[in-house]
Amino acid sequence: MLETYILTIDRDLYEDEYNYLQGHIPIRALERIKKFHYRVDAQRTLLGNILMRYVLYKRNLKHNKELIFSNNQYGKPHLVNLPNVHFNISHSGQYVVCSVDSMPIGVDVEIIKPIDLTIAYNFFSKIEKEYILNSDPGESLAKFYRIWTMKEGYIKREGKGLSIPLESFCIFSLENDNNTVFYEVFQNEKAVCNICASQHTEPRNIYLNLDVLINNYIKILTEYRVP
């Protein structure tokens, strides 16, 4: 089953929470977090790592010391000891999202902000550009972000990074591919989130706030005495 956990960051982490959670992630991840200039960026990345570990525990009952990660040549992380468990993370604004499935997936969430829609000429296929730029003015921005998150989801599922140019494929063509399925997790006036999956399945969305995630994660750490 394709499951997507959606965390809404409804407050800032307290200092003791921030320090505690930093003590339960790998050193390499911690070093990356400490490089951020702004606390809000570091907090999102930290919560992305914690959400991922919580999701993988819920899926497989594996805790931190049992999760062995590696990266492919393009930098996409995967589980060495759980090859049939695929996951992907995305975060933007107040949202942190983690999807998990039995086959490769990619997820992308984006905060909707006013932009120059002619950017579509640089990154989208002809059909995608027409879909966006020929829309009613009130719909074009939402359609841009819908296409953008679908394309990012596809690239993340493939795990080849920017070696796949955004303009080199059309999501409308991919929708006719039996091995590629898109699911909209949510779209509102603030943000949009889409998944690119490898199989038709019954998606399930699980919504969390910060208190629920932290309390549940601490409970897991306490029960299993994870170092």
- The CATH number given to whatever domain includes residue 71 is 3.90.470.20
* Domain count along the chain: 2
Same domain flag for 43 and 90:
yes
Structure tokens at 117: 């829609």
Which two structure tokens, joined as six digits, stand for 93? 């604004």
Tens digit of each residue's pLDDT, the chain (227 residues): 899 999 999 999 999 999 999 998 888 889 999 999 999 999 999 999 999 999 999 888 777 778 888 888 888 888 988 889 999 999 999 999 999 999 999 999 999 999 888 888 888 999 999 999 888 878 899 999 999 999 999 999 999 887 888 889 999 999 878 789 999 999 998 999 999 999 888 899 999 999 999 999 988 887 755 44
Range of the domain at 110: 104-198
pTM to 2 decimals?
A: 0.92
Handedness of CA 116, 185, 84, 90 (dihedral sign): positive
Q: Are residues 61 and 117 in the same domain?
A: no
Instruction: Find, among 160, 170, 187, 175, the residue nearest to 106 by Cα.
Output: 160
Strands 204-209 and 95-101: unpaired
State whether the Cα torsion 23-17-223-57 is positive or negative: negative
> Is the torsion defined by CA of 138, 141, 146, 147 positive or negative?
positive
Task: Tell whether 110 and 74 lie within a shared domain.
Answer: no
Are 218 and 169 in the same domain? no
